[in-house]
Amino acid sequence: MNAEPATSAMSREMFHSDGNNGGSQPCLSNLVIYTEEAADEQLIRDTITQYILKHPCRVIVIFSLPRSAISRLDGSFSAHTFNDSTGKSVACDQFTLHVSGSAVKELASAIQPLLVADLPINVWWRGNFLSQRIIVEQMLAFADRFIYDGVNWTNLHFTVMQVDDFFTRHEEKVAFTNFNWARLRPWRECAADFFDAGMFENEIWELNTVRIEYMSMPGMEEGYQFRALLLLSWLAVQLEWVPETGTPGMDDVRLEFKDKRGENVNAELVMLPQSTPTSQGLQRVVMSIHTADRFHAFIVERDHHDRLMILRHDDTHTQRVLRTFPHADSKPSDLLLRELGRRQRSRVFEKSFKLASNLLQMI
Amino acid sequence: MNPLREGLQRQRVPEPCAMVIFGASGDLAHRKLIPAIYSLAHEGSLPPYFALVAVAVSDFTTESFREDMKKAVDEFSRHKPINEAVWNNLAAGIHYIKGDFKEDSTFQELGALLKRLDAERGTKGNRLFYLSTNPSLFEIIPTQLQANGLTTGAGWRRLVIEKPFGRDLATAQKLNAHLQSIFGESEIYRIDHYLGKETVQNILVLRFANGLFEPIWRNQFIDHVQITVAETLGVGSRAGYYEEAGAVRDMMQNHMMQLLALIAMETPISLKAEQIRNEKVKVLQALRPILAKDVKHSTVRGQYARGYMEGAPVKGYREETNVSPKSVTETYASVKLYIDSWRWSGVPFYLRHGKRLAKKGTEISIFFKRSPDILFNAADSETPVDQNVLTIRVQPDEGVSLRMEAKVPEQQLQIQSVKMDFRFGGSSPEAYERLLLDTMIGDATLFIRHDEAEQSWAFFDPIIDAWRDEDSRHVPQYGAGTWGPKEAEDLLANDGRKWRRL
């Protein structure tokens, strides 16, 4: 089966119905979205709408029911135009596949003929990919990037080990993106702001205390704890801290590192009670230099309007807001845009994930 | 290097600094500079320790200026609606000084304020002076800065100036010499907002990141190049300035020569500012001078007369407010020029710019040589083929297109030109955002070096002089809403070519 004649015909028809004699349909990549939740439909539709305007691509959405007793594969094709605020319109082809039962195992063979040739293939897997390893392995055989969200992970020790194994076996060919990591970007940007040239570039090597506070929705504690652990791992990797010991706890995890000078660095991950029923994610990161005669804290904090603020606190006990950052968290479309806009793998993420995986064994 | 920046989108972060805008109550600051600064703040690209000092003669206080600028941001920023937290944080660092640029007291007040901001906002003595003023102040303000001790001290000093960089070679040299007596050349940022446009920056990527184009980017394969900057607007409220400037000084000598230099330059050995500017200036040095006797054959000037724009009647140039009824200022110019280098020997470059033309658009078109007169191009062939044309659209509708020949799907052999088109999507950063950030970072790649400005004047001075010496009452007229005077069509027709229709 070759999808191109059908998609070309429909696109031609679409442009003609708009009163044009021709039209252009840019396409930068293939985006394959896999979900087992029918309730995802609205979120996927909203995400595609936002995403396509900036990143035209072929979309293949798969609604899968692997545990169904009926084996079936149905597909439909649609062509859409999306308009942005300036009146520019972008066209997009979309295939929607409904697959159930044992047919799910043959999904990869149904997807491949639908892909636009010679363009990157990004697979966005909604849900737990470890439960569908056969299909994931099939997709990794042709995917360039595999996107997942670790915030839903449970049984963290086991899951992270499995994911680490995936990385190791596929990392030379496939780039992995974890939305749980991607959501840390504003926090990482704000943390970095303190230590640019002309700021506190020397103090960065003297940091000896880190406290990361987060909140979680019930049932997602492990995913949020892992996000906090990823942030700590990132700091440790970039600042060359070597892990020494870890102390597990229900809501409070403590870890000790040695810095480049051989000095101790103490870190803790603290889960706070939810301030509202929907409060979740990182709330505050405090990086400080705490000695007998000196105190200097660099704080990134989320406010009630979901903005990030960076603050400085020092011996004189003054606390000053240096900057506010509009969004602490990002929508899936923003995360996709940011992650897929970059061609290369994120070595920083890969190193941080490896260290987080090791730290998990210590706590 | 900050180790926490590795892998982050914002790799380039300026050091703490204070930006001083002279002429901050003017149109440029209102429409472009302040909205651009807000956008940088919104995206977290400004340093956390940042202050903005506005200096102008208008009757503002710091509070009323902040209010006025908030309205400007609300109207002209690409980030809407305004984010109160970002604005409040930025506005807290905005200060206004009302003062005459010729008075020492203005600069003494400025010096005291900057010192206070170093202590209060941590700006570390780094100063960015932006001259958004009438060109007559381009020498006075730097002199005053020096006289009042504002060009020395801890931290860096940078000076940003807007065009025009002189009005001919002599005045450009004088201005450059004056500025260089106060600031080092590496501290002077001559801004050309065209260079901040994404599509213009894309020229380098298109040429040097695609193995396809660079080998054929030469006289062996290219027939000619057309650069067009077409405007539909008349002179409007700028008549006073325009009467003195004209199309060549306003557009061709600066923006269009930058486009030409980027299109024609050799491959730089790196993307560093000096390497790119070295290659650009070589193109300008290699321009074959148009001698007075050749001006008539190689250039065309014109002036718009009454006509129709989008179905409505519009005035002729000489009928515009603040324009002399006997004005000889050109509102249209086209030039045919040659670059005497191995790469471009024998390839004509046609440049045209005009006001009140039929359609707005800035583009560069590379016309490739026809395929040989065999098969499809033979004299008796019923299937003549056209040239391949690569077009870079700078504005509006930014993108790149390639015209090529294809067979019409029928039994008989019929050939038709088809266009492959790529358009930039989304909302690109405004040119000033990129350029202001570069000045804070100290990256001069997209700014004009003194010798580029001077070489460009050296090329155009004889043309302007010859036009002045001609029977100046006879400036060819063209109807508003057309593509310029007939003589401009003849300029290409005499070479067997024609202007590309936008």
Q: What is the DSSP string of B97-137?
A: EE--TT-HHHHHHHHHHHHHHHHHH--TT-EEEEE-S-GGG
What does pTM read for this prediction?
0.85
At position B120, the amino acid (one-letter code) is E
Residues of chain B with CATH 3.30.360.10: 196-493
Q: Which residues of B touch A325 (CB under 8 A)?
A: 44
Nearest chain A residue to B7, by CA: A348
A192 interface with B at CB cutoff 8 Å: yes
pLDDT of residue A20 exceeding 50: no
Judged by average pLDDT, the poorest of A78-87, A134-143, A247-256, B149-158 is: A78-87
Q: Across the interface, which of A56, A324, A347 has its CB nearest the CB of B425? A: A56
The yes-or-no answer on residue B193 being catalytic is: no
What pLDDT does residue A3 have? 61
pLDDT of residue A15 exceeding 60: no
Q: Across the interface, which of B421, B425, B427 has its CB nearest the CB of A90? A: B425
- Give, as one character, the DSSP assignment of residue B448: B
Cβ distance B10 to A189 less than 8 Å, yes or no, reads: yes
Using DSSP, state whether A305 is helix, strand or coil.
coil
d(CA A219, CA A152): 9
B270 interface with A at CB cutoff 8 Å: no
Residues of chain B with CATH 3.40.50.720: 14-162
**Averaged pLDDT of chain B:** 92
Q: Which residues of A touch B86 (CB under 8 A)?
A: 324, 326
CA–CA min distance A89, chain B (Å): 9
E strands, A225-328, where? 242-247, 252-258, 264-271, 281-291, 294-302, 308-314, 319-325
Q: Across the interface, which of A86, A323, A346 has its CB nearest the CB of B89? A: A323
Q: Across the interface, which of B9, B15, B89 has its CB nearest the CB of A197? A: B15
The Cα angle at residue B59 between residues B57 and B60, in degrees rounded to 5: 105
What pLDDT does residue A22 have? 41
B421 interface with A at CB cutoff 8 Å: yes
What pLDDT does residue B200 have? 86
- Range B406-411, long-range pairs (CB < 8 A, 24+ positions): none
Share of chain B above pLDDT 70, in %: 97
Q: Which residues of A touch B8 (CB under 8 A)?
A: 185, 188-189, 192
pLDDT of residue A19 exceeding 50: no
**3-state DSSP of B130-195:** EECCCHHHCCHHHHHHHHCCCCCCCCCEEEEEECCCCCCHHHHHHHHHHHHHHCCHHHEEEECHHH
Cβ distance B6 to A307 less than 8 Å, yes or no, reads: no
Nearest chain B residue to A235, by CA: B4
d(CA A220, CA A131): 18
Nearest chain B residue to A51, by CA: B426
Class of domain B14-162: alpha beta
Cβ distance B3 to A347 less than 8 Å, yes or no, reads: no
**Averaged pLDDT of chain A:** 85
**pLDDT tier for residue A18 given thresholds of 50, 70 and 90:** very low
For B46-94, what is each residue's pLDDT tens digit?
988 899 999 999 999 999 999 999 999 999 988 888 888 889 989 999 9
A204 interface with B at CB cutoff 8 Å: yes
Q: Across the interface, which of B8, B9, B83 has its CB nearest the CB of A326? A: B83
**pLDDT tier for residue B160 given thresholds of 50, 70 and 90:** very high
What pLDDT does residue B452 have? 95
**pLDDT tier for residue B34 given thresholds of 50, 70 and 90:** very high
Judged by average pLDDT, the poorest of A51-55, A197-201, B134-138, B315-319 is: A51-55
Nearest chain B residue to A84, by CA: B426
Q: Across the interface, which of B7, B13, B423 has its CB nearest the CB of A196? A: B13
What pLDDT does residue B430 have? 85
CA–CA min distance B223, chain A (Å): 28
Judged by average pLDDT, the poorest of A85-99, A322-336, B176-190 is: A322-336
**pLDDT tier for residue B291 given thresholds of 50, 70 and 90:** very high
What pLDDT does residue A269 have? 96
Mean pLDDT of A299-314: 84
Nearest chain A residue to B44, by CA: A325
- Give, as one character, the DSSP assignment of residue A13: H
pLDDT of residue A342 exceeding 80: no
What pLDDT does residue A21 have? 41
At position B20, the amino acid (one-letter code) is V
A175 interface with B at CB cutoff 8 Å: no
A272 interface with B at CB cutoff 8 Å: no
Q: Where do runs of H (alpha helix) occur along A18-54? A: 41-54
B7 interface with A at CB cutoff 8 Å: yes
Cβ distance B48 to A53 less than 8 Å, yes or no, reads: no
Cβ distance A198 to B10 less than 8 Å, yes or no, reads: no
**pLDDT tier for residue B377 given thresholds of 50, 70 and 90:** low
Cβ distance A84 to B426 less than 8 Å, yes or no, reads: yes
Q: Across the interface, which of B85, B422, B425 has its CB nearest the CB of A54? A: B425
pLDDT of residue A250 exceeding 80: no
Nearest chain B residue to A28, by CA: B422
Residues with Cβ within 8 Å of A114's Cβ and at least 6 positions away in sequence, in order, are: A3, A58, A60, A95
pLDDT of residue A157 exceeding 50: yes
Parallel, antiparallel, or unpaired for β B361-368 and B222-230? antiparallel
Nearest chain B residue to A239, by CA: B3
What are the structural domains of chain A? 4-148 (3.40.50), 185-330+355-362 (3.30.360)
C-alpha Rg value of chain A to the nearest Å: 23
What pLDDT does residue A87 have? 67
At position A177, the amino acid (one-letter code) is T
Contact A346, A338 (CB under 8 A): no
Among B2, B43, B90, the strongest candidate for a mutation testing the A interface, having the largest count of A CBs within 10 A, is B2
Helices (H) and strands (E) in chain A, counts: 10, 15
For B133-146, what is each residue's pLDDT tens digit?
989 999 999 999 99
Cβ distance A199 to B16 less than 8 Å, yes or no, reads: yes
A191 interface with B at CB cutoff 8 Å: yes
pLDDT of residue B14 exceeding 60: yes
Bigger pLDDT: A344 or A134?
A134
Q: Where do runs of H (alpha helix) occur along A155-240? A: 156-170, 179-182, 185-193, 221-238
Mean pLDDT of B230-237: 91
Cβ distance B426 to A54 less than 8 Å, yes or no, reads: yes
d(CA B306, CA B304): 7
Residues with Cβ within 8 Å of B86's Cβ and at least 6 positions away in sequence, in order, are: A324, A326, B38, B41, B42
Among B4, B198, B401, the strongest candidate for a mutation testing the A interface, having the largest count of A CBs within 10 A, is B4
Q: Which residues of A touch B38 (CB under 8 A)?
A: none
A184 interface with B at CB cutoff 8 Å: no
Using DSSP, state whether A182 is helix, strand or coil.
helix
Nearest chain B residue to A341, by CA: B9
Bigger pLDDT: B399 or B183?
B183
Q: A residues 282-311 near B, CB within 8 Å?
A: 305, 307, 310
Q: Where do runs of H (alpha helix) occur along chain A? A: 4-17, 41-54, 107-111, 133-140, 156-170, 179-182, 185-193, 221-238, 332-340, 347-362
What pLDDT does residue A233 have? 97
Query: In this complex, how many residue pairs, one in chain A and one in chain B, have their CB atoms less than 8 Å apart?
Result: 93
What pLDDT does residue A348 have? 92
pLDDT of residue A7 exceeding 70: no
A91 interface with B at CB cutoff 8 Å: no
For A203-237, what is each residue's pLDDT tens digit?
999 999 999 999 998 888 888 999 999 999 999 99
B124 interface with A at CB cutoff 8 Å: yes
* Residue in B42, B224, B255, B353 annotated catalytic: B255
Q: Which residues of B touch A193 (CB under 8 A)?
A: 13, 44, 48
Parallel, antiparallel, or unpaired for β B399-407 and B389-395? antiparallel
Q: B residues 48-67 near A, CB within 8 Å?
A: 48-49
End-to-end CA distance of chain A: 51
Q: Which residues of A touch B5 (CB under 8 A)?
A: 192, 196
**pLDDT tier for residue A9 given thresholds of 50, 70 and 90:** low
Cβ distance A196 to B5 less than 8 Å, yes or no, reads: yes
Bigger pLDDT: A314 or B78?
B78
The CATH code for residues B196-493 is 3.30.360.10
The Cα angle at residue B290 between residues B288 and B294, in degrees rounded to 5: 135
**pLDDT tier for residue B421 given thresholds of 50, 70 and 90:** confident
d(CA B302, CA B315): 15
Q: Which residues of A touch B427 (CB under 8 A)?
A: 84, 86
For B101-128, what is each residue's pLDDT tens digit?
999 999 999 999 999 999 988 899 999 9
- From B214, B221, B211, select the one nearest B368 (Cα to Cα): B221
A323 interface with B at CB cutoff 8 Å: yes
Nearest chain A residue to B124, by CA: A198
Mean pLDDT of B434-455: 94
What pLDDT does residue A5 have? 62
Residues with Cβ within 8 Å of A235's Cβ and at least 6 positions away in sequence, in order, are: A191, A210, A241, A287, B4
Half-sphere exposure of A71 (CA within 13 A, CB side): 6
Judged by average pLDDT, the poorest of A40-44, B106-110, B141-145, B487-491 is: A40-44
For B321-366, what is each residue's pLDDT tens digit?
999 999 999 999 999 999 999 999 999 999 999 999 999 999 999 9
